[in-house]
């Protein structure tokens, strides 16, 4: 094998596997524990209750979809393990569970897959991705989603406080953590262990590869004293479309044309406003229709009209949250109307309960609400801890501890 070939192979293998939806007719992609649509996609190794991935295909025609599962490193690159070293069963299988929508003005086909299942289950813990592809061609990718498989071998905990740096004193949150090893053997605390901290279940602003600042009799303390802080952000706006023939929370009015159109209450720029508490679900959403028993198939799609009153900003403004896959996507970019002095955007969304904010590009490729919604240290955010271990002789990044998302402030 030539040096050039080795370099190409290494580059392919080192690709970071991000969440992806390739086609705009694929909507409402969700991965979560079975029966818990708001929860983080984490599966405890060997547990009976698994995960479920689902999505809607608005092309409304049968497609030959399949899935495959990969084991990843702590940095979301494909690991060096062979398939039979991380999976029991087959790497890829067909998606046989699908059905056509019932009684909706916007027709679609709903697909879902539960795993572990009879065809495949994980052997080891770690980061994983599931990929959906079509036409029996694994390279014809349509959807990718991350999830974790964990073992409860150590006990993580988290606390949140105001940032100590005076420049970020009012806008950022300092996250500290403790991990009790509970007798778990570790040879080198700094080389063998890595901690990741996620805010509001997002991977795109996670703090990764964190090392302990203190070690005392099997208790690791992570106290960063000004570094590794998170923007506090803001409390999310909410709207409820579970009943389209009634005005739900955050909805100003709705009407039926060829399909439902929903108009939300206008929101104003609050970048210089003081912090104000309001209950939210930290940017998440879940699909539901109140007057039917199976919202997966009977939940309709509606055009939701967002309106944001603000001076025109130097940065583009986006509707943002789990509804946008926690990304600044082109179809969520708002248009500015100078006569009205406001941004607006219509987005096709499935019936349900949604959180959202208005966001813009931030520093170093990040995402911010500083110019649109403000950012406050008091904001109630969820924090997730994931502890990785790779000791001598271990060929993969094992997840030995998982702290379920919790509001620690």
Which residue would you say has higher pLDDT here, 348 or 223? 348
Given a contact cutoff of 8 angstroms between Cβ atoms, the answer to whether 343 and 358 are in contact is yes
How big is the CA angle at 373 (ends 369 and 378), to the nearest 5 degrees? Answer: 90
Between CA 121 and CA 45 the distance in angstroms is 9
Which residue pairs from 323-328 have beta carbons closer than 8 angstroms and sit at least 24 positions apart in sequence? 323/285, 323/347, 323/349, 323/354, 323/355, 323/356, 325/19, 325/21, 325/29, 326/202, 326/203, 326/204, 326/283, 326/367, 327/204, 327/367, 328/359, 328/360, 328/361, 328/367
Domain ranges of the chain: 3-150, 155-232+381-407, 237-368
pLDDT band at 91 (very low <50, low <70, confident <90, very high): confident
Q: What is the mean pLDDT of residues 187-216?
A: 95
Q: What is the mean pLDDT of residues 160-179?
A: 88
Residue 338 pLDDT > 80, yes or no?
Answer: yes
pLDDT band at 270 (very low <50, low <70, confident <90, very high): very high
pLDDT at 180 (0 to 100): 97
pLDDT band at 407 (very low <50, low <70, confident <90, very high): low
pLDDT at 225 (0 to 100): 72
Between CA 305 and CA 194 the distance in angstroms is 43
Given a contact cutoff of 8 angstroms between Cβ atoms, the answer to whether 111 and 65 are in contact is yes
Q: What is the mean pLDDT of residues 239-244?
A: 97
Token pair 């992609």: residue: 29
Q: What is the mean pLDDT of residues 240-247?
A: 95
pLDDT band at 409 (very low <50, low <70, confident <90, very high): very low
> Is domain 237-368 classified as CATH 2.60.40?
yes
Residue 6 pLDDT > 50, yes or no?
Answer: no
Of 173-177, 325-329, 332-336, the range with the lowest mean pLDDT is: 173-177
Residue 168 pLDDT > 60, yes or no?
Answer: yes
Architecture of the domain whose range is 155-232+381-407: Sandwich (2.60)
Between CA 261 and CA 304 the distance in angstroms is 6
Cβ neighbours of 341 (radius 10 Å) = 11
pLDDT at 226 (0 to 100): 67
Residue 62 pLDDT > 80, yes or no?
Answer: no
What pLDDT, in 10s, does the model give residues 273-315? 999 999 999 999 999 999 888 999 999 999 999 999 999 999 9
Residue 385 pLDDT > 50, yes or no?
Answer: yes
- Domain 3-150 sits in CATH at 2.60.40
Smallest CA-to-CA distance from 97 within 67, 140, 142, 141 is with 67
Residue 155 pLDDT > 70, yes or no?
Answer: yes
pLDDT band at 213 (very low <50, low <70, confident <90, very high): very high
Residue 97 pLDDT > 60, yes or no?
Answer: yes
Cβ neighbours of 65 (radius 10 Å) = 21
Across all residues in the chain, what is the average pLDDT? 93
pLDDT at 372 (0 to 100): 98
Same fold, 155-232+381-407 and 237-368: yes
Q: What is the mean pLDDT of residues 116-135?
A: 96
Token pair 């192979």: residue: 9
């Amino acid at each position: 094998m030539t040096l050039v070939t080795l370099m190409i192979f290494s580059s392919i293998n080192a690709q970071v596997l991000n969440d992806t939806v390739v086609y705009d007719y694929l909507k409402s992609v969700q991965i979560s524990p079975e029966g818990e649509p708001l929860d983080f996609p984490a599966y405890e190794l060997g547990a009976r209750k698994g995960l479920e991935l689902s999505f809607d295909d608005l092309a409304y025609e049968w497609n030959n979809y399949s899935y495959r599962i990969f084991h990843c490193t702590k940095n979301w690159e494909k690991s060096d393990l062979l398939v039979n070293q991380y999976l029991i069963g087959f790497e890829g299988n067909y998606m046989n569970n699908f059905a056509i929508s019932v009684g909706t003005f916007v027709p679609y086909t709903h697909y879902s897959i539960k795993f572990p299942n009879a065809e495949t289950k994980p052997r080891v813990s770690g980061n994983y991705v599931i990929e959906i592809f079509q036409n029996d061609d694994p390279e014809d990718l349509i959807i990718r989603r991350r999830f974790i498989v964990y073992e409860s071998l150590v006990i993580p905990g988290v606390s949140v406080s105001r940032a100590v740096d005076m420049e970020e004193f009012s806008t950022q949150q300092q996250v500290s953590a403790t991990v009790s090893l509970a007798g778990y053997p570790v040879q080198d605390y700094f080389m063998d262990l890595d901690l990741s901290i996620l805010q509001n279940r997002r991977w795109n602003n996670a703090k990764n590869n964190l090392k302990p600042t203190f070690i005392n009799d099997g208790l690791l303390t992570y106290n960063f004293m000004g570094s590794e802080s998170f923007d506090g952000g803001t409390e999310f706006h909410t709207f409820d479309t579970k009943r389209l023939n009634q005005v739900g929370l955050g909805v100003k009015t709705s009407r039926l044309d060829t399909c439902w159109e929903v108009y939300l209450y206008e929101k104003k720029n609050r970048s210089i406003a003081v912090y104000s508490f309001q209950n939210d679900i930290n940017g998440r959403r879940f699909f539901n229709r109140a007057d039917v028993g199976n919202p997966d198939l009977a939940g309709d799609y509606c055009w939701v009209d967002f309106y944001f009153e603000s001076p025109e900003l130097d940065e583009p403004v986006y509707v943002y949250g789990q509804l946008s896959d926690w990304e600044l996507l082109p179809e969520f970019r708002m248009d500015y109307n100078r006569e009205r002095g406001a941004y607006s955007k219509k987005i096709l969304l499935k019936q349900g309960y949604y959180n959202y904010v208005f966001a813009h590009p931030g520093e170093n490729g990040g995402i911010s609400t500083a110019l649109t919604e403000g950012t406050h240290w008091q904001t109630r955010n969820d924090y997730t801890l994931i502890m990785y271990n790779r000791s001598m002789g271990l060929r993969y990044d094992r997840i030995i501890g998982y702290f379920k998302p919790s509001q620690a402030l």
